[in-house]
A = this chain, B = another copy of it.
Amino acid sequence: MISVEAARERIVGRMRPTGAESVGLSQAWSRVLAEDVVARLTQPPADMSAMDGYAVGPCAGAVGDTLRLVGAVAAGHPFEGTVGPGEAVRIFTGAVLPPGAVSILLQEDATATPDQVRIGEALVPGRHIRRAGQDFQHGARLLAAGRRLGAREIGLAAAANHAWLSVHRRPVVAILASGDEIFMPGDAIPPGGIVSSNSHALAAMVRAAGGHPVMLPIVRDDAGAIADAVAGAGRFDLLVTSGGASVGDHDLVRPGMERGGFELDFWRIAMRPGKPLMFGRLADTPVLGLPGNPVSALVCAILFLLPAIGRLCGLAGEAPATLPALLAAALPANDHRADFLRCSLATDAEGVVTARAFTSQDSAQLRLLAEADGLILRAPHAPAAGSGDVVRVLRLADLGV
């Protein structure tokens, strides 16, 4: 059995970021840049007025002085001419500063007639002027490859005159659930049959992480059928299986995949829930075999699938972020397996988070997992912890899970 950290490193280390595709700016939100975004223009393109008022030429600029009004300039309509000493031009926010102008007189500080404007507040040269290139210069690297695109990045790329961005292709992640007892929701369910929940939850997690899920049809407990189902694995960036990864007579996922050339890297991880995790490679496609129990499958997916997809998307593939929390109740010492305890979280007015482990940690109780706010991380051989002790927790809603 290997540790959670070693398993994640090995899994993420085998992922190769997908190639690039061009997407329109309006489809780029949450995608990851495959190339730097370099400014295609200078912003602002010229010195511009930051306010409505008057652009003033060289002058003493004292209160009571009067300037000659020689024109007007609005955003998008540059002034034809220059502003000389003792002259002023009516100007509006976002308009290019006319040549010769050195100060802005705010309109609330001005008294204007059709020909003249009187200064009501002493001028400060350069004030209320946005200088050319103050935001960025043509050729500046604004966003680096590997960056996930939020709304700000998309606005910045637009301002830099990019209508298209080169981003990593969404990794295609196939999900295979197997078992004679499982059926799709809405299908006729025979006695003793249950509805497959893992493939639906995993598909949602693939979406949350930025991938494109392909849900393969449920395959029965038959090694030949499993071999057939994964025959097209080479087309996927990652294949995820759920269930059948243990060593029982009815755990046929591994034997089935081995008929197609599956090579095991490792299986069994020192963690709870989730021991029988399997990782390997089939037709050059990485294969992550998750446990069949719903809670085990989802906890393993949080720890291993989310970073793996992140890496495929071009991110670093780091472990999901944790935060510190105070224990609401004592926990016993841990054995050799890392524990991920379903818990409720409460945040007080000062932002201090308290975590309370659920009484039941049964790995088949999906409802309890859905009611959990987080997972308390307990390291292998962690000593007993008392109420008020600090632990690390993983907040589930932050992950789209």
Contact = CB atoms under 8 A, between A and B. Distances in A.
A175 to B, nearest CB: 11
B78 A191 contact: yes
Nearest to A154: B204
A401 B154 CA distance: 9
A107 B205 CA distance: 34
B184 A76 contact: no
A72 to B, nearest CB: 9
A14 interface: no
B135 A163 contact: no
A111 interface: no
Interface in A150-207: 150-164, 179-182, 184-186, 189-198, 200-205, 207
A350 B323 CA distance: 8
A181 B134 contact: no
A151 B190 CA distance: 26
A151 B401 contact: yes
Nearest to A73: B192
B366 A156 contact: yes
A196 B26 CA distance: 13
Interface in A307-346: 323-324
A401 B149 CA distance: 8
A48 B196 CA distance: 16
A153 B370 contact: yes
Contacts of A93: 246, 248, 250, 292
Q: When A and B form their complex, which 10 residue pairs have the shortest distance between CB atoms, in order from nearest?
A: A155-B201, A76-B180, A76-B181, A163-B186, A159-B197, A324-B351, A151-B204, A75-B181, A158-B200, A96-B192
Interface of A: 25-26, 28-30, 41, 43-46, 48, 50, 52, 74-78, 92-96, 107, 130, 134-136, 142-143, 148-164, 179-182, 184-186, 189-198, 200-205, 207-208, 213, 215, 221, 246, 248-250, 292, 294, 298, 301, 323-324, 350-351, 362, 364-370, 390, 396-401
20 contacts: A26-B213, A45-B192, A52-B246, A92-B250, A135-B364, A135-B368, A150-B396, A150-B399, A151-B204, A151-B400, A153-B370, A154-B200, A155-B294, A155-B370, A156-B366, A156-B370, A158-B195, A158-B200, A323-B351, A398-B398
